[in-house]
Structure 1
Amino acid sequence: MERYRNSGGDSGVSTFEIGSDYIIVKFSGTAKTFRYSYGGGAGQKHVENMKRLARSGSGLNSYINRYVKNLFDK
């Protein structure tokens, strides 16, 4: 897992892992991880947007809360 840069300083995201068709996100204060994938509820468009935000270190937590909060793989 790679540490999330958190440019804004107020993100709940702590670490992430990027794969070809998924992103795994871990939030601060919990050991649980959340996997968002092309084949899961999030879909390709959201996963690619999340990858871009994770790499940039800004906006990932807000994006998750707004668009994909409950669309993680179950």
Structure 2
Amino acid sequence: MKPYRNLSGKSGVAAYECGDGFIRVRFIHDGIYEYTHARPGRVHVANMQQRAEAGRGLATYISRFVRENYARKLD
């Protein structure tokens, strides 16, 4: 996983991993979650991947638009 740059300095995201059709996000206090094209969908995964690479807005996007709609929790 790549460390999340956290340009705002306030994010709950520690790291992420992007791949074809998925993103995995490691939260500082809550483990790793996987989001896929199947759940929550292509548009959300693309938006999350974009924010992850930019280092800004990922946790906010997840809390506003995705919430509990993840494919699976990995740990």
TM-score by length of 2: 0.92
Structure showing the higher strand proportion among its residues: 2
Runs of 4+ residues deviating >2 angstroms: none
Within 5 A, what are the aligned runs for 1:1-74? 1-30=1-30, 32-40=31-39, 42-74=40-72
Q: Which amino acid aligns with 2:67?
A: K
Name stretches of at least 5 consecutive residues in structure 2 with no aligned partner.
none
Name stretches of at least 5 consecutive residues in structure 1 with no aligned partner.
none
Q: Partners in 2 of 1:18 and 1:50 — Cα distance?
A: 9
> Matched residues, percent identical?
38
Aligned residue pair count: 72
RMSD: 0.8
